[in-house]
Structure 1
Amino acid sequence: MDFINRHAKKTIERMANSYPAVLVTGARQTGKTTLLQKSIESKNIQYLTFDDPMEEASAKSDPKSFLEFHPYPYMFDEIQYIPDLFRYLKIQIDKNRHNGMYFLTGSQQFKLMETASESLSGRIGIVELYPLSAREIRGEEFSENFIPSKDFILSRNSNFTQNDFSVEKTWKAIFTGGYPEVVKGNVLPKDFYANYLKTYIERDIKKLIQVADEMQFLQFISVVASRTSQLLNYSDISKDCGISEVTAKKWISLLVSSGLVYLLQPYSTNIEKRVVKTPKLYFMDTGLAAFLTRWTNPDVMRTGAMAGAFFETYVVSEIIKSFANNGEEAPIYFYRDKDKYEIDLLIEQNNTLYPIKIKKTASPTSDDAKNFFITNRIKNVNIGQCCVICNCSQVLNIKNKDISALAIPVEFI
Structure 2
Amino acid sequence: MIARLAQPKLRKLLQQFPAVALLGPRQVGKTTLAHSLADELGQQALYLDLELPSDRAKLTDAELYLSQHAERLVILDEIHRLPGIFETLRSLIDQRRRKGKRNCHFLLLGSASIDLLQQSAETLAGRIAYEELTPFSVSEVAEAGIGSADQLWVRGGFPDSFLAANDQDSFTWRSAFIQTYLERDVPALGPRIPAETLRRYWQMLAHNQGQMLNAAQIASGLGVSGHTVARYLDIMVDLLLVRRLQPWATNAKKRLVRTPKVYVRDTGLLHALLGIRDQEELLGHPVVGASWEGMLIENILHTLPATARPTFYRTSVGAEIDLVIEFSAKERWAIEVKRSLGNPAPSKGFYIGCEDIRATRQIVLYPGEERFRLDSTTEVMSLPWLLREIGT
Give the TM-score of the pair, scaled to structure 1.
Answer: 0.85
- Which of 366, 371, 380 in structure 2 is aligned with 1:395? 371
The CA distance in 1 between the partners of 2:174 and 2:345, in whole Å, is 39
Q: For residue 337 of structure 1, what is the aligned residue in structure 2?
A: 315
Deviations 1:51-100 (A, max 9, x none): 113433664x5544453455443111110111111111010000013122
Q: For residue 153 of structure 2, what is the aligned residue in structure 1?
A: 174
Q: CA deviation at 1:22?
A: 1.4
Q: For residue 354 of structure 1, what is the aligned residue in structure 2?
A: 333
- Which of 268, 273, 281 in structure 2 is aligned with 1:292? 273
Deviations 1:280-338 (A, max 9, x none): 10111000000001112112212321111101111111112213xx6x36521000011
Instruction: Letter of the 1:226 partner, please give it.
Output: H
- Which of 362, 378, 381 in structure 2 is aligned with 1:386? 362
Q: CA deviation at 1:350?
A: 2.3
Q: Does 1:86 align with 2:86?
A: yes
Q: For residue 95 of structure 2, what is the aligned residue in structure 1?
A: 95
The CA distance in 2 between the partners of 1:35 and 1:48, in whole Å, is 14
Deviations 1:22-70 (A, max 9, x none): 11001111111111221242222011011113433664x5544453455
Q: CA deviation at 1:358?
A: 0.7
Give secondary structure in 2 for the equivalent of 1:393.
coil
Q: How has the CA–CA distance of structure 1 residues 279 and 87 changed in structure 2, closer, same or farther, with 3 Å as cutoff? A: same
Q: For residue 67 of structure 1, what is the aligned residue in structure 2?
A: 66
Q: Superposition RMSD on alpha carbons, in Å?
A: 2.2
Q: Does 1:224 align with 2:205?
A: yes
Q: Which has the higher contact order (CA 8 A, sep 6+)?
A: 1
Q: Does 1:6 align with 2:4?
A: yes
Give secondary structure in 1 for the equivalent of 2:381.
strand
Provide the aligned length of Structure 1 versus Structure 2. Answer: 374
The CA distance in 1 between the partners of 2:346 and 2:258, in whole Å, is 26
- Which of 350, 373, 380 in structure 2 is aligned with 1:407? 380
Q: Does 1:283 align with 2:256?
A: no
Q: How has the CA–CA distance of structure 1 residues 42 and 244 changed in structure 2, closer, same or farther, with 3 Å as cutoff? A: same
Q: For residue 183 of structure 2, what is the aligned residue in structure 1?
A: 202
Instruction: Letter of the 1:94 partner, please give it.
Output: D
Does the CA-based 8 Å contact 1:392-1:407 persist in structure 2? Answer: no
The CA distance in 1 between the partners of 2:290 and 2:117, in whole Å, is 30
The CA distance in 2 between the partners of 1:220 and 1:127, in whole Å, is 28
Give the TM-score of the pair, scaled to structure 2.
Answer: 0.89
Structure 2 unaligned residues grouped into runs of 5+ = 388-392
Instruction: Letter of the 1:201 partner, please give it.
Output: L
Deviations 1:218-261 (A, max 9, x none): 12211111112010111111222233322211111110000001
Q: How has the CA–CA distance of structure 1 residues 241 and 357 changed in structure 2, closer, same or farther, with 3 Å as cutoff? A: same
Q: CA deviation at 1:278?
A: 0.7
Give secondary structure in 2 for the equivalent of 1:383.
coil
Q: CA deviation at 1:140?
A: 6.4
Q: Does 1:239 align with 2:212?
A: no
Q: How has the CA–CA distance of structure 1 residues 273 and 373 changed in structure 2, closer, same or farther, with 3 Å as cutoff? A: closer
Q: CA deviation at 1:376?
A: 2.1
Does the CA-based 8 Å contact 2:243-2:265 persist in structure 1? Answer: yes
Does the CA-based 8 Å contact 2:313-2:323 persist in structure 1? Answer: yes
Identity %: 26
